[in-house]
Structure 1
Amino acid sequence: MSEAFSYLHPETISRLSRLDLIARLVVEGFITGLHRSPYHGFSVEFSEHRPYMPGDPLRDLDWKAYAKSDRLYVKQYEEETNLKAYLLLDVSGSMDFAAGAPLSKFRYAVSLAAALSYLMLKQRDAVGLLLYHHQTEAYVPPRSVQSHLQVLLKTIDQARPHNETSMAPAFHDLAERIRRRGLVIVLSDLLDAPDQVLEGLRHFRHLRHEVIVFHLLDPRERDLAFRDQTRFYDLEAPDQTLTTQPWHIQHEYRALMDELIQTYRLGCAEAGIDYALLDTATPFDVALSRYLAQRKKMG
């Protein structure tokens, strides 16, 4: 395995702490030569500066920047991109679980969100971010400039899993905020009432947004593969505990988990939503490939 490819694997990422480095290494391990659009100047809002070069239009000179620095700078305009994408990151308490994989669900989701942000901005797509648990915790509007990556990564890096889950209010809130058709990417364990979650997801589809749901589960969370007597804690209600021999409840637990997964899989399919079940030991290229397929579909 090449060194670059190794960064697609959660066990390698678990040894890194810098989110900007994780984002770059995961993406560079996945794909090179990403498209960078050369088009500028189609938007009213400028986004970055560069030094003035002979022949540049004088109307694009930023005189305020000149007054501050005594140097000539030209405004570069933020491109009207084909895509506005919104990353919806679950920061509820249940995302803190880790048992059968190198990364917790939250750390896996954070690494994936960082990599997707890096990849989309490399493609000159506009990226926004929503952090939620039982309500919206933070919202970063989408932008397509490279400097926006640090804003996204800082917001993601400061997030910590806490509180109970109630996804639908945050979904409805965001659906009412965004007007232009875009791509909504959900990163969550979906441990919430499926009917309410699916209703929130259908709200995006009703407004003609494309939606990808990355359903993140720890391997042991799926099969309850614990051998000895175990005490289980509810991460969203720590005073709720259960001490048992796992094999006593394993069959019923697996049936309920399979039913939950199937409910989401069928509900998403009926709504035209791309659903991807990932356990937290899955290499990141599986998720990135899913994103690129949807991105290509949107044109």
Structure 2
Amino acid sequence: MQPISKPPAAAPASAMTAMMAQTRDLELVIRHVLAGLGHGIHAGRERGAGVEFSEYRAYAPGDEWRRVDWKLLARADRYFVREAERDSHVATWLWLDATASMAEPSREINGVDKLWFARTVLACVAAIAQRQGDAFGLVICTDGKVEFTQASRGPRQLQRVLAALAKAKPEGRLPTAEVLKSNLHFARAPSMIFAASDFLDWPSPLSEALLRLRNMRHDVRLLTLRTQAEVDASFKSGAGYRDPERDDGLHRISNADRAYYKQQSRAHFDAVAGSCRQNNIVHYEARIEQPLSGVLRSWLQLTGARAK
């Protein structure tokens, strides 16, 4: 993905993002971001005894007699059942990476870091799910643990999820593969899973868990978050950086290192995107300096590539 351009009109959006990052009222931020968004998470439909006629099919043992078309029986001398469609309430799960690397801040917008951006986007998805009447829950990976807010519906559930998101801090490393595997029971019925992370490690226990969920026929959608400095390697020359999730010392980047860094970084995230395509996982890559509402809209609009 090419670095974003900086036309004069971009300044107000950055200023607004900075203002939103300073407030502790997630609901206020959600109202601003969702204003005029105009669409929901899904348009799921499932076959059943609904009100909108779809088609006929042959009667099968166990079908309800009230769904038999008696007029068609008189004409065809065979039992047929009226199939209809009704709205499906697909459970929505929000998955937040709250490990130490998510504390990486923007070097362009004060107060904005990866965790703030991820948690705010997921809060907006939760608000949309609540408006649609869907059940929704939250999974947070932080400091080697998995924290759950069980799926439910309604305004009180939204308050529980927002409170859990607001308390999340960027700590430690991802849980182990064994810990994550043992916790995948949360998504029993087919669900939509919205996961936000920097995916600096791929493959990783997190990627393995998400791929396993996809293989379980869940609709998995990933949001990869990067900073503009990470994209164009605009780190201060000679400055030292320490990986917060590893114990491998201090790293310095020189002007001579930038081209290699950008090449390796792009290769890594191309591999993430390629793995998602191979496994029919919706994937969107964004920078935390972009307008949050635009990132959310683009992520949700990938319904055409939604896993089936």
Normalised to the residue count of structure 1, the TM-score between the two structures is 0.74
1:16 aligns with 2:23: yes
Give matches, 1:218-297, under 5 Å.
218-237=227-246, 240-242=249-251, 244-284=252-292, 285-294=294-303
Counting aligned pairs with the same residue, the percent is 20
Give the structure 2 partner of residue 217 of structure 1. 226
Give matches, 1:71-86, under 5 Å.
82-86=89-93
Give the structure 2 partner of residue 179 of structure 1. 188
Secondary structure, aligned partner of 1:211: strand
RMSD: 3.1
1:176 is displaced (CA, Å) by 3.0
Secondary structure, aligned partner of 2:105: coil
Note the residue ranges of structure 1 that are not aligned, 5 or more in a row. 36-79
- Give distance in 2, aligned partners of 1:18 and 1:143: 22
Give matches, 1:1-299, under 5 Å.
10-31=17-38, 82-102=89-109, 103-133=112-142, 135-166=144-175, 168-169=177-178, 171-194=180-203, 196-237=205-246, 240-242=249-251, 244-284=252-292, 285-294=294-303
Note the residue ranges of structure 2 that are not aligned, 5 or more in a row. 1-11, 43-86
The verdict on how the C-alpha distance between 1:296 and 1:191 changes in structure 2, with shifts beyond 3 A counting, is: closer
Residues 156-186 of structure 1, C-alpha deviation per residue, up to 9 Å, x if partnerless?
1111001023574565344333210010111
Residues 111-142 of structure 1, C-alpha deviation per residue, up to 9 Å, x if partnerless?
11111111111111111100003643310111
Residue 221 of structure 2 contacts residue 283 of structure 2 at CA under 8 Å; is this kept in 1? Answer: yes
Deviates more, 1:185-194 or 1:206-215: 185-194
- Give distance in 1, aligned partners of 2:113 and 2:172: 16
1:252 is displaced (CA, Å) by 1.5
Secondary structure, aligned partner of 1:131: strand
Number of residue pairs matched by the alignment: 251
Instruction: Give the letter aligned to residue 279 of structure 2.
Output: A
Instruction: Give the letter aligned to residue 188 of structure 1.
Output: S
The verdict on how the C-alpha distance between 1:259 and 1:245 changes in structure 2, with shifts beyond 3 A counting, is: closer
- Give distance in 1, aligned partners of 2:305 and 2:140: 26
Normalised to the residue count of structure 2, the TM-score between the two structures is 0.72
